[in-house]
A = this chain, B = another copy of it.
Amino acid sequence: MIYMDHAATAPVRKEVLEAMEPYFTKYFGNPSTFYTVGREAKKAMEESREKVAELIGANPEEIIFTTGGTQSDNIAIKGIVLKNKNKGNHIITSQIEHPAVIETCKYLEKNGFEVTYLPVYEEGIIKIEDLKEAITDKTILITIMHVNNEIGTIQPIAEIGKIAKENKIKFHTDAVQSVGKIPVDVNELNVDLLSMSGHKIYGPKGIGALYIRKRTRLEPILHGGGQEKDLNPGTENVSGIVGLGKACEIAKEELEYNQKYLTKLRDMLIEGILSNIEESYLNGDLINKVPGTANFHFVGIEGEGLVLLLDGKGIAASTGSACSSKKLEASHVLKAIGLEDVDSHGSLRLTLGSENTEEEVTKVIQATEEAVKRLRSMSSIWNQ
């Protein structure tokens, strides 16, 4: 298999699984207990917290473990606005957030909050002017993702954070797609809250973290035994936490190398596809982009068929096509960058990981070319 859907999820690294294993069977204690096997679990958890903190330039006390990116987003956004609802009811976000943020905002809209969804234009990047204009004296939260999961564009987080700070507005960023892929430092980025997820960085699924800057208060949305500063109660997923820590440690070590390597592979991929396949286009900005992501559209074909043909050749890739989604709606991200529905239907997302090779890239270019040709040959809207 050639796996090129790393924005969806990544395999757990061998070293990560090895680090986790003792915590299933040997050091299996409940970290809330104070006998030896519980203390071992607790200790591992705290070491992991340090590793997570280190990757993003935070203090360990500013990290809580969560059950993934979605929970981090929910805890952060609802936590801030419910805590500050007496100060105002306005939230600013972007049109291309992940559903974990968008659906949370929509839910809050039904409950008395007002939300501004900033446009991102053809490049897939918000304009600072728009942000400044959107701020009112009722604004209590800005939540803008660092890197988009479909087109890979990078938002000007540090700049947004500066403006948020000047206006004394709390600032959250969904960094699920940036942590471990580009340098992320909570202080350079001026963020108060930052969400991350384990399975996007070769850690396990079902584990994530939320950075909460010191003295930032959140209203809990889940209630129970008080774990993770009362914000994520329940017996801690110790093996998952250990896995996340190990994944962060490795990500830090390999960050520089991977950035270069993945940029090279991606550029090769883009160059190969655009030059070999006629009427093929890149979606979103090329420059402000995370190294491993490339999103294309091919005129005259439909993405689901493309993904299935590639799968037949052992290639895992993704599409923003409505036909492949449960709700038969086209990608809101491709729509936001101005793609017509008919074009977003012909979209293909390829997201690279460090285990991909040049040889694989070559194969994928060739397979995509063939598949597009084949689909076009039976397409009613393709005429050459």
Distance A28 CA – B8 CA, assembled complex (angstroms):
11
Asked if B237 contacts A204 (CB within 8 A), the reply is yes
A residues 339-358 with Cβ under 8 Å of B?
Answer: none
Which of A34-42, A183-191, A368-376 interfaces with chain B?
A34-42
The answer, yes or no, to whether A180 is at the interface (CB within 8 Å) is no
Q: What 0/1 pattern do residues 14 to 48 of A give for CB contact below 8 A with B?
A: 10010001001110111011111110000000000
Within 8 A of B (CB), among A295-327: 304, 307-308, 310-311, 314-318, 324, 326-327
Inter-subunit contact B205/A235 (CB<8 Å)? yes
* B224, A100: Cβ atoms closer than 8 Å: yes
Considering the chains assembled together, what is the distance between the CA atoms of A238 and B205 in angstroms? 7
- Do A311 and B223 form a contact, CB below 8 Å, given A24-B204, A25-B12, A233-B103? no
If the complex has contacts A106-B223, A206-B237, A236-B205, are A33 and B14 also in contact, measured as CB distance less than 8 A?
Answer: no
Instruction: Report the Cα distance A108→B327, complex, angstroms.
Output: 33
* A239 interface hit (Cβ, 8 Å): yes
Contacting residues, chain B, for A268 (C-beta < 8 A)? none
Copies in the complex: 2
Contact of A8 among B33, B206, B311 (CB under 8 A): B33
CB of B29 within 8 A of CB of A224, answer no
User: Which one, B32, B239, B326, contacts A204 given CB within 8 A?
Assistant: B239
* Segment at the interface with B among A68-76, A130-138, A259-267: A68-76
Say whether A67 contacts B67, CB under 8 Å: yes
The interface of chain A, by Cβ under 8 A from chain B, is 1, 3, 5, 8-12, 14, 17, 21, 24-26, 28-30, 32-38, 67-71, 73-74, 98-100, 103-104, 106-107, 197, 199, 204-207, 220-226, 233-240, 304, 307-308, 310-311, 314-318, 324, 326-327
| 5 cross-chain CB contacts under 8 A | A1-B36, A12-B24, A37-B316, A204-B239, A205-B236
